[in-house]
Chain A
Amino acid sequence: MGKLKLALYWAASCGGCEIGQLQIGTKLLKLVEVADIVFWPVAIDVKYKDVEAMPDKSIDVCLFNGAIRTSEQEHMAELMRQKSKVLIAYGACAFTGGIPGLANMFNRELIFERAYLETPSTINPQKVLPRTQNTMPEGEISIPTFYDTVKSLRQTVDVDYVIPGCPPEEKTTWLALEALINNQLPPKGTVISHTVKAVCDDCARKKDVKKIKKFYRSFQIIPEPEICLLEQGLLCAGIATRGGCGAPCPAANMPCTGCYGPVEGVIDQGAHFLSAVASVIDSNDPAEIQQIINGIPDPAGVFYRYSMPESLLRRAKIK
């Protein structure tokens, strides 16, 4: 068998996934023994037109990270799907929309206003906003269209596998790459991780009956190092999040934020998280319950930190 042809691409993402890929360290050498990297914008100079010139399905595997926010990213998602035998959504953004997906609480107009006019560091007296088509003395030029709604890769094209995480842990990345190298890929659609159980299963903290009298944000308290963070009033997403990461955040005294996505069988991670958290509020008095809930100033942002586009409502309705 010849060497595997591997492509890596980034869409609406931060670059953290590339760091996640490099975290496999010396195993990279093992990877390049069996695979040739044919496309990787962050590291090698291969142009879009070179990819377009490749025959269909000529790339064996594409690791695609980032959400889909512009027409360029949508085009690249379709192109990589067309050229790759196996397309893997790499990281939380490609999987469930990720942090860029939180922009679904706004629309293009509001985002442009904020980014190009209102931010304190912006000086834009002519109120210039990005436009898809522009007429210049040299002729028509165009930039990618900025969409109102962020989508995950799975909502854009057919995806074969998911590697979860923000960014994926080194061991999760290697679990997938090893399966790939050994040609032992799981059934299509699998979210590749060491466990199908929740993060709590990986977490070493002592867990007892959960009763919450007051919610805290992480800057408001220094939590006890050995007791479940949720029991201490921190919104730890571990209960609603797929494990496999090894729970490094709770181990570092920080609540889980939910980057590995929903546990097996759950469609809407945020609703699941909300349901579990609200049920253990320690009060039967509506007024007190309301007061405890006021300790969560931004429920949508907390519960759907990485999964807004894949939630049931997908985006906010803007009046």
Chain B
Amino acid sequence: MAWEPKIVGFLCNWCSYRGADLAGISRIKFAPNVKVIRVPCSTRVEPSFVLKAFQSGADGVLILGCHPGDCHYVEGNYKTMRRMPLLKKMLVQFGVEDERVRLDWVSASEGEKYAKIINEMTETIRTLGPFSSNGREGDNGKA
């Protein structure tokens, strides 16, 4: 079977998850590669969740939250906005390409935007190819 990008999508319950719902209800066609995990807020996504996704075989991680200023918990998404750039900077040191993690904002009314982001992300990861957290250095036993 041909390789397909595996993307983990963390969607905030209040905006982005509803945006995804709207995309579905509106019968918009988009790539099936994102496995959605609903979280109460984008800031629930601790950096370790992203690492865990890569460790578990994901090729990309997508984090979607409410637009800045619209957070259900007032400033949760601002914390996400601060964490993800630092995490991405560190991931590059680990050999994880910058494009493999994407943070974006999708409101409950943005079904179209949701579908567009999913398609873009899927294509980006397809171009990058599969990610394996072990790289070629996983085989410790060999000289």
Contact = CB atoms under 8 A, between A and B. Distances in A.
B90 A303 contact: yes
A317 B137 contact: yes
Contacts of A267: 48
B78 interface: yes
Interface stretch (B26-34, B81-89, B107-115): B81-89
Interface of A: 105, 107, 132, 145, 147-149, 151, 267-268, 270-272, 274-275, 277-279, 281, 283-284, 286, 289-290, 293, 296, 298-300, 303, 311-319
Contact of A274 (B52, B68, B87, B95): B87
Contact of B93 (A272, A289, A298, A319): A298
Contacts of B54: 312-313
B47 A145 contact: no
Interface in B117-143: 131-140, 143
B3 interface: no
B51 A279 contact: no
Interface string B47-69: 11001101100000000000010
A148 B134 CA distance: 11
Contacts of A303: 90
Interface residues of B, number: 34
- Most chain B C-beta atoms within 10 Å of own C-beta, residue among A275, A279, A284: A275
Given A148-B139, A279-B79, 14 more contacts: A272-B47, A274-B83, A274-B86, A274-B87, A275-B83, A278-B86, A284-B68, A303-B90, A311-B51, A312-B48, A312-B52, A316-B135, A318-B95, A318-B135
Contacts of B43: 279
A315 B86 contact: no
B4 interface: no
A319 B82 CA distance: 28
A315 B139 CA distance: 12
Contacts of A311: 51
B135 A315 contact: yes
A229 to B, nearest CB: 18
B93 A275 contact: no
B12 to A, nearest CB: 16
Nearest to B86: A278
A274 B94 contact: no
A313 B94 contact: yes
A268 B47 CA distance: 9
7 A-B pairs closest in CB distance: A317-B95, A317-B135, A271-B48, A299-B90, A312-B51, A278-B83, A300-B93
Nearest to A109: B137
Given A107-B137, A274-B83, A293 B94 contact: no
Contacts of B131: 317
Nearest to B89: A299
11 contacts: A105-B93, A268-B48, A271-B51, A272-B47, A286-B85, A289-B85, A293-B86, A313-B94, A313-B96, A315-B94, A316-B95
